[in-house]
Amino acid sequence: MNARVEPSQAARDGVSDAAQPAQGRVLGHVVNGVAILTLERPQALNALSHAMVRALAEQIERCREDNAIVALVLRGSGEKGFCAGGDVRALYHAANAGRIEGEDGWRQFFIDEYRLDFALHAFPKPIVALADGITMGGGMGLAQAASLRIVTERSKIAMPETRIGFVPDVGATRFLSMMPVELALYVGLTGAVLSGADAVRCSLADVCVQSEWLRGFEARLASLPPDQVSARLREAFVPPAAPLPHAPIDAVLPAIEKHFDPRSGVGEMAASLAAALISNPHPDLRAWLQTALDALHGYSPTMLHVTREALLRGRRITLADAYRMELGIVSRAIEEGDFREGVRAHLIDKDRAPRWHPASLADVRPERIAHFLSSPWPRARHPLADLGELPPLRASRLPS
């Protein structure tokens, strides 16, 4: 059922041959004018290596310029996930080795990743993201640029960066603003894992379908009249009746609104959760309270404070400015913050005992928070100074 358009550059398989297998690759083929790009690194849950970021950027540019391509689909290989994020271990080793700029530099990875994400947001044709399975971090950066964001009963959606001494990035300081501020703070600070139905309820996805339904999307694409593919694209991915399944987050929305008040600092949020934990007898709510409290007490104190402020600022700035802000925070987190210690504790040595500096929320001084939020570069010399401006997020959403 796959119709290859040989004259079209975007129709060729494996245009990312420069990416070595261990680093993953991006495969591309075309069905009825729709370019289907597959992240292929299933052994790492399709985590993005630098080579994959570059390969995907090349594919996106070819698809943009190719008039034979009317739409784009992003998906991951394997059954477990769309994309688990960036290759954090590689970034950790690059940071320890002092590789900052250049082809294998950690900062260049983020510059290239953010440029890729921005290019997707600016892409002039419809994009469909199949966020089936694990979709976190860098995977969210890709998915949130799509015109149609599909999740399934297998989806696990999260921005878990504070756990390793980092900040929700890839545009998250902006795209999390699509939800109420209390919910954005909860998701961004605690790294809570959302179901597919939760993601729809939180405005991080457009529709939740059965994963089995997605198996046939290429055949449905191929059956569309060639001159109507763009207008009827949604039919290939969304069944005629797709009721929203139960969203578990509904049960705790009142608690989220109460304990993640934007007028409260992170320490006050933690105190509010602790007080409720003492007084609330309901076991399900107690479990949620304990999990949220453990996150605020166990994750990097510095980055929790910085993340709160960044999420509040992100609601008032453009997407391009969000990327610029995030690159500054990321640079400081890796050079002088808790990132390397968080990765060491959770992914390298796996002792699960990070030694944060400072060690508690109360010990983080306001000037430290301000320092992390200040740009290391003058505006004109920022590595992302040339990013343009875009309409409000989701302006290119496919009609229901």
Q: Catalytic pick from 132, 169, 206, 309?
A: 169
Q: Catalytic pick from 161, 198, 206, 218?
A: 161
CA atoms within 13 A on the CB side of 173: 31
| SS3 track for 70-120 | CEEEEEECCCCEEECCECHHHHHHHHHCCCCCCCCCHHHHHHHHHHHHHHH
Whether 13 sits among the annotated catalytic residues: the reply is no
Whether 257 sits among the annotated catalytic residues: the reply is no
Whether 363 sits among the annotated catalytic residues: the reply is no
Contact of 149 with 206, CB cutoff 8 Å: yes
Q: Catalytic pick from 76, 105, 138, 191?
A: 138
User: Which sequence positions are flagged as catalytic?
Assistant: 86, 138, 161, 169
